[in-house]
Structure 1
Amino acid sequence: MQWFGALLLVTALSVGAGALASLHLMSTFQRISESQKEVPEKPISSAFNANDRLRKITPVVTNLAAPPNAWIRMEASIVTDKLTEEEASIVVARIGEDVAAYLRTLTPAQIEGARGLQYLREDLNERALTRSSGKVRELIIETLVVQ
């Protein structure tokens, strides 16, 4: 009988401790959710405007500078906003030629890894801005294959 009484006492203490812990967790959760409601949500802003257009550059396939048997194929697009269709086709052609000329000067070691890809992206963006007189907002590398 003493064991049964002790078992009931331990069970009652366990239920009480569990109830207190759950009440504490619920009050903490309510405080956190109320504090998050007070913070005004910022509207999601896009990096691009509604007027921007994505224009594809013809895929560039060319050999690299260093090993004679190394080839590169790149597909890219440019983001423009203030160009007519005629101006855009001219700018796309010029940038495509410039990209091909720039890729011919590279070696596989220069575009190896994340850092090399980042440098390539920055260089191509700078060249696109220069070639288009600032009318291109960004050059996006879609695919890049080095063989």
Structure 2
Amino acid sequence: MQISQMLTKHITTLLFFGFGLWSLWDAYNDDDTDELEEVEAELDADVKSNEGADKSNNKADDDLKKKNRPFLTQFFSPIFLKAFSITFFGEWGDRSQLATIGLAAAENPMGVVIGGIIGQALCQTAAVFGGKSLATQISERFIALSGGILFIIFGIQSFFSTIES
């Protein structure tokens, strides 16, 4: 079964607009507090309040908290799910994936899988560490706004683009 180019274009356009609006929503709903500082403060407060507490009580509390979380987040953290979905949908149907399909048709598929995984891991590692160092110099709100605007621009470009046969 082959997905039509028109359907792929429409899905891509919707994803660009969706990611753009998501980023803009994150930017406008960010409360200017540094999330890392917030988490560190909560951890410090927990450590101080639980000094001398029995570790078995902490484990029981952690197990209870885990049972009360939604099903998927019991196995995967929210940041894992967000990173996975952004990467998966960002890569789905792009040119590198299409080139990989062609390469797998002509070469050893296992070599293509391993090479693709290592290549993607290196690219994501560079993005994560580069983004982490960049984030110390630029506010998260600016990054979210810039990313949202770029995704909206890509969505507009995708909407007005024509499909070549």
Q: TM-score range by the shorter chain?
A: under 0.3
Structure with more strand by fraction: 1
TM-score (norm 2): 0.25
* Structure having greater relative contact order (Cα 8 Å, sep ≥ 6): 2
TM-score (norm 1): 0.28
Structure with more helix by fraction: 2
